[in-house]
Structures are given as C-alpha cells and as structure tokens.
Amino acid sequence: MNRRSNRRILYPRLESRRSGRLRVSEIHEIYWEESGNPNGIPVIAVHGGPGGGSSPEMRRFFDPGKYRIILFDQRGCGRSTPHSELRENTTWDLIDDMESIRDALGVDRWLVFGGSWGSTLSLAYGVTHPDRTLGLVLRGIFLVSKAEIQWFYQSGASRLFPDAYDRYIKPIPEDERDDLLMAFHKRLIGDDKQARIDAARAWSRWEGETLSIKGPTTTPARFNEDDFVDAFARIECHYFVNRGFFASDNWLLEEAKTKLKDVPGVIVHGRYDVVTPLSTAWALSKAWPKADIHIIPDAGHSSMEPGIVDKLIQATDDFAIQYADLIKA
C-alpha cells in the first residue's frame, strides 16, 4: 500500500511515455500526453484554472501499472497554442477537445479526474457524455455560480485572508472596487501591457496565496511567473465574466440529477477550502446520489494537502479494482 503515517501519498514521479499536438480549430492547437501503462484503464486528468495548464504532479494520483494516464493543456495555456488566446475558448470548445483527444487516442470510455475548475469541466463533460464516462473523481467543487465568484473575487474570502486581499485589490482604483471582476477584466483584455501584467499578477497571486490551509507561505512558484499568470488570469476572468458559458447558475446541478444517475463518483473537499467553499460540494452530493463525498477536516483547496491526496488516491485505487477487467495483458 502506498502509505505514510496511515495516509496514502503520491505515486513516484514518472515521465510521459508519448505526447503530441492536436489541431482542434483554425486558431487552436492543444498539447496532450500519456504516461503509465499503455494497456491500462484510461483516465483523463483535467487541470484547473481555467488557464492553469497541466503539471507532472497530476500523473502521480494514479497507479502507473494500472492506469493509462492522459493529460492535456486546455486552449490558450500550458504548451497549447496560441498562448493566452480567448477567441474560440469556451467550456463547449474544451468538451469537444476532450472528445477529439479520446477519438485520436482510440479510447472508448475513460475515468475523468479533475479539481477546482477541473471539477467544473469534468462535470460538464460527464453530463454531456455520460456514456463515455466510467466515473468521476473530483476535488474542490466549483460550479462558476454568481455566489461563488462573489465570495472569492469580491469580498467574502477577504475576511479570512485580509493580508492577501489587500495585495489582490492593489491594482484596482478605489472607485472601481465595487465590481472587481469587471475591473480586472477591463485590464486583462486591454491594450496597456503593464496594466495587464500587473492585474494578472494580482489576480493569480490571490488564488495562489489562498490555496492551502497554511496560507500565503505555501504559494506555488508558478504564481509568480509572468507567462503563467497572464494566461491564468486572462482565461479565468474570461470564463467567469461569462459564467462558465452555462445556461444558468444551477445548470450543472440540475443536469447532474438526471445525466449522472448511473455514473459513479467521488467528491473530495477540504472543510476549510476558501477558494471554493464546501457548500457547493455538499449541494452536488445531494443532487448526485451515486457520488461519495469525503470532507477533509484539515485541508483547504490545494490538491497537495495530505488528506486530499490520501482520499484522491484511495478513489483512483478503488476504481482500478472496479475496472480491473479493462487492463489488457
């Protein structure tokens, strides 16, 4: 058992086995990669953001002897091109891209794994293609609702992280702070390059400083890299201004009630998640009876909190047992 101190830990680091690029529109080309067992259970790991890009650490949530691990960079970020592009970049484009990857790699059905925005896109994929979804393993549930965006990007989370919040709002004049989402959006899509990068740094670091229950001291290094923060902030803000391109705040919840009634799932959420509060995960668990919810008592939003790592790997290990017949000799 892959354990330390009674908690599962990440599987050892591994390199991608093969990778490629897929032209998905006249504008966009996306990066994909595979690692693990080429004859294993297919799983697609969906990164957060949107605009965050995949990371090698995502491979480590799966037993490499049992899983065929597929990662990709969503439109406009990571190794996909063009960088930071907002045109032809919607949730429905990304779902189509996942289907293009599935077709290109010859996958019939796969497990879908995602956290934060990755949980949003995974859910949207699952309700659109339940027949292609073996199951869903989700962390840090986010549905792009008005209430969630108001909580984190306007004022709610400031009560818990006032120091980080002051740094977040610094690029925005006081007379524009009554609608921070639109104030940031104006700068992130504007022609003033310095204003754009200042806004991108502030927007991205706000999330980076609040990811972990330990606070700003554990901000990941990439939240200080200009190329990363430009795509991350611009694409996130683009999606949030458009409310995820969903028909309503409750669209995913309503769809989950019917479309996921036969799809098994696991929800893992930190009780002290400030970025995506637990109430959203709880609402999803009530709408989706086939999902088991695990509330981690000593965790925030980060996928790297020890309790979250433990439950995510328990989930993928359990699915590996359930779908062992899909592992080819």
pLDDT of residue 91: 98
pTM exceeds 0.95 for this model: yes
Same domain, 312 and 184: no
Same domain, 171 and 260: no
pLDDT of residue 260: 98
* SS3 label, residue 189: coil
Kindly give, in sequence order, each residue whose CB lies less than 8 Å from that of residue 300, ignoring residues fewer than 6 positions away. Answer: 210, 211, 212, 213, 214, 270, 272, 273, 274, 275
Same domain, 178 and 240: yes
pLDDT of residue 59: 98
Which residues in 188-328 belong to E strands, given as ranges? Answer: 265-270, 291-296
Can 116 be counted among the known catalytic residues?
Answer: yes
Report CA-CA distances (Å) from 157 to 164, 221, 281.
10, 22, 17
**Pick from 216, 244, 272: which residue ends a domain?**
244
Tens digits of residue pLDDT in 176-186: 999 999 999 99
Same domain, 188 and 218: yes
Q: Active site residue: 145, 269, 301, 310, which one?
A: 301
**Pick from 218, 244, 270: which residue ends a domain?**
244
Sheet of strand 18-23: strand arrangement? 18-23, 29-36, 67-72, 41-46, 110-115, 133-139, 265-270, 291-296
Can 301 be counted among the known catalytic residues?
Answer: yes
pLDDT band at 5 (very low <50, low <70, confident <90, very high): low
Tens digits of residue pLDDT in 51-95: 999 999 999 999 999 999 999 999 999 999 999 999 999 999 999
Can 80 be counted among the known catalytic residues?
Answer: no
In the 8-state DSSP scheme, what is residue 268? Answer: E
Tens digits of residue pLDDT in 257-311: 999 999 999 999 999 999 999 999 999 999 999 999 999 999 999 999 999 999 9
pLDDT of residue 1: 46
Tens digits of residue pLDDT in 224-257: 899 999 999 999 999 999 999 999 999 999 999 9
Same domain, 224 and 260: no
| Stretch among 31-35, 215-219, 290-294 having the lowest mean pLDDT | 215-219
Same domain, 131 and 254: yes
Same domain, 183 and 39: no
Same domain, 140 and 158: no
The tally of domains found in the chain comes to 2
Kindly give, in sequence order, each residue whose CB lies less than 8 Å from that of residue 195, ignoring residues fewer than 6 positions away. Answer: 171, 187
Q: Active site residue: 73, 97, 230, 273, which one?
A: 273
Q: Tell me the CATH number at 125.
A: 3.40.50.1820
* SS3 label, residue 71: strand
- Would you say 8 and 1 are in contact if contact means Cβ atoms under 8 Å apart? yes
Structural domain boundaries, residue 184 = 146-244
Same domain, 90 and 160: no
**Pick from 203, 218, 244: which residue ends a domain?**
244
Strands 67-72 and 41-46, how do they pair?
Answer: parallel
Mean pLDDT value across the chain: 96
Same domain, 110 and 239: no
Same domain, 56 and 137: yes
Same domain, 205 and 165: yes
Q: Active site residue: 35, 54, 80, 116, which one?
A: 116
Statement: residue 208 has pLDDT above 70: yes
Q: Which residue has the tokens 């998905």?
A: 24
Tens digits of residue pLDDT in 12-21: 999 999 999 9
pLDDT of residue 117: 98
